[in-house]
Structure 1
């Protein structure tokens, strides 16, 4: 078994390192560490077939501003996208970020589509690459993960609208907004009239990350009616279980909790950064040097923080933390599309990311454990 454990997989981590699941500090995902308090759920939700209720649809529209299709997590929708886009575009290639949620790439590969990539760790390079592809006049789909997990790359709604206006007929601009809830005004859904007028944007939204309830598996898609109807047909009538609907109705309608959650997430992000800061204390102009450890922060707010650094040191840090019962996310070179790099040896050093989720500042044990282990880690790097 590989020493590398993927995000959230505490069962594998426990088996590999011999540490019970309940003793781990899981910082390997970008899930809110302070989840929405699950309300009391009626027995009715468990007993009846889960047709989507009027209350559920109303809560969805109230929170997102428009009607959409609900599924058992956005993963279920991602798997369907290559086959539900209009038949005239079945063979179109797709332009994706070279680093991001890998299930997007896998779904299109399964359909044997032609894939090309733009760099996801450099804002200017990404925008230039996308614009050049659009200027070429070639018909293609475009995927934006906004903000990108794990690189933090973001695009403004206005930029996305401009790109959508340049897309060829039959091509779609797919925007995965799994982490947009902290800044909902940055969603392309915030200007619904323009979104509807363009008609070629498909938006994915995740429930579990912001609300901290990934286990109930709930996600949404927003697009033109033709695409929504195709998705609904593929998903069937019972794509969202009854208990998940009950929780979502309460959470999506709870504006007070949502506002407080955004404030808490900001506080927890700052606290998490401060806990990591001893490792990166020599930061200057976005760079840091710690002995031979050179790193660059790509994202340091929101639901995760990410640093780019030398692969050898990144593995050392990941391994040390895992042995102490702290799981973070290590993104190695093989998870990038290396065709973008002219120098593979150089790519091995640059294309390695460490991503940490957030601690809950109200959980003293979490904070103390991370602080202690980082202090011990520093001694090994001297």
Structure 2
């Protein structure tokens, strides 16, 4: 073919989402994508349905009412919020706006795969800093970043490990990075965390003009299907993102559902409570079987398997799939001996535990 894309584009392996089907199983239990097992807020669902009466209209290009609702719920400045088609789009926009071929991008060793895609799409150099016990190591990130990193991506909590670093460590990271390095703190799972030393980085985005915080409606709000996310940063960064995003990048039903979701605090609390109980149960059950489970504060667990033939992560995944239980292999993250399992409803968690107990005993 005579027409070729920019160098490096064909080296990109497209992001592969969690599987949704199990061959021969009519209604499998999907625990592969960290979705909210409670669904979404009934108020959000009703708002989405009501929006169907206005599908002939363009949405508000600035998502003004949604930004105002987000700002009120989090005590933030609405003018310093930008909304996107999932937080994924906002990560892509940061790459489009701030990365050039040859720039350096750094993440922790087992960081979210999309960060690598953002770097490769821009022709940037990508470096993964070693982790300690599957947890981001600030010193290692600082060493990898040096004085010339353009962007450092940090998921806190991290996907797929479920680990986090404290607010003090986030501050130490920001203060240790060069002033020309942007720090992007991806807080997709922040609403699930119940740890005394965890704190959102919103205050650091107020303090530093080179720190961005991203959030999503896909997890605790249960709105993964509508693709909705947002970012909070210094006004200058938000101005840049508004210049490179599409003029109507967030659709009207998503805006309406998002406003209802952010205001339904009761649903968010129920989701967090359900997850807390399920997380504790699954960690206790799996550890009791002798499986290594990385301590998680998200809505999933990372479970490690042996390399013994017949008892590997690949074997476990196949065993679960045959029983209609779909989980997430994470070899693409450099974790070939592990599976990521989303916390489901009580019965679903019990099914996973029972199936893995049977697998290990076979």
TM-score by length of 1: 0.79
1:297 equivalent to 2:279? Answer no
Aligned length: 333
| Counterpart among 328, 332, 345 of residue 360 in structure 1 | 345
Spell out the pairing of 1:270-281 with structure 2 (5 A cutoff): 270-274=280-284, 277=285, 280-281=287-288
SS of match in other structure, 2:288:
coil
Query: How many Å apart are 1:101 and its aligned residue?
Result: 1.8
1:26 equivalent to 2:30? Answer yes
Distance in 2, matches of 1:125 and 1:220, equals 23
Range moving further from structure 2, 55-64 or 367-376 = 367-376
Query: How many Å apart are 1:32 and its aligned residue?
Result: 1.8
SS of match in other structure, 1:205:
strand
Spell out the pairing of 1:132-151 with structure 2 (5 A cutoff): 132-133=143-144, 136-151=146-161
1:127 equivalent to 2:128? Answer no
Distance in 2, matches of 1:124 and 1:243, equals 37
Residues 128 and 240 from structure 1, CA distance in 2 versus in 1: closer, same or farther, beyond 3 angstroms? same
Query: How many Å apart are 1:255 and its aligned residue?
Result: 2.1
Query: How many Å apart are 1:172 and its aligned residue?
Result: 0.4
Residues 25-77 of structure 1 show CA distances to partners (whole Å, capped at 9, x for unaligned) of: 01112222112222243244423211145432211112333231101111112
Residues 128-148 of structure 1 show CA distances to partners (whole Å, capped at 9, x for unaligned) of: 3124345x5444421111111
| Counterpart among 21, 26, 48 of residue 57 in structure 2 | 48
| Counterpart among 77, 80, 86 of residue 73 in structure 1 | 86
Query: How many Å apart are 1:300 and its aligned residue?
Result: 4.1
| Counterpart among 298, 301, 306 of residue 310 in structure 1 | 306
Spell out the pairing of 1:256-271 with structure 2 (5 A cutoff): 256-271=266-281
Residues 167 and 375 from structure 1, CA distance in 2 versus in 1: closer, same or farther, beyond 3 angstroms? closer
1:109 equivalent to 2:120? Answer yes
Query: How many Å apart are 1:111 and its aligned residue?
Result: 1.6
CA RMSD of aligned residues (A): 2.6
Residues 80-127 of structure 1 show CA distances to partners (whole Å, capped at 9, x for unaligned) of: 222212x8x775301112223211101201222112111245267723
Range moving further from structure 2, 144-153 or 54-63 = 54-63
Q: Does the CA contact (< 8 Å) of 1:139 and 1:169 recur in 2? A: no
TM-score by length of 2: 0.83
Query: How many Å apart are 1:179 and its aligned residue?
Result: 0.7
SS of match in other structure, 1:47:
coil
Unaligned stretches of 5+ residues in structure 1: 283-287, 289-294, 337-349
Match of 1:224 in 2: 234
Distance in 2, matches of 1:49 and 1:371, equals 47
Match of 2:103 in 1: 92
Match of 1:342 in 2: none
Match of 1:292 in 2: none
Match of 1:82 in 2: 95
Distance in 1, matches of 2:65 and 2:148, equals 43
Q: Does the CA contact (< 8 Å) of 2:205 and 2:232 recur in 1? A: no
Match of 1:195 in 2: 205
Distance in 1, matches of 2:190 and 2:303, equals 20
Query: How many Å apart are 1:167 and its aligned residue?
Result: 2.1
| Counterpart among 321, 335, 349 of residue 333 in structure 2 | 335
More helix per residue: 1
Match of 1:326 in 2: 325
Residues 352 and 376 from structure 1, CA distance in 2 versus in 1: closer, same or farther, beyond 3 angstroms? closer
Residues 48 and 300 from structure 1, CA distance in 2 versus in 1: closer, same or farther, beyond 3 angstroms? same
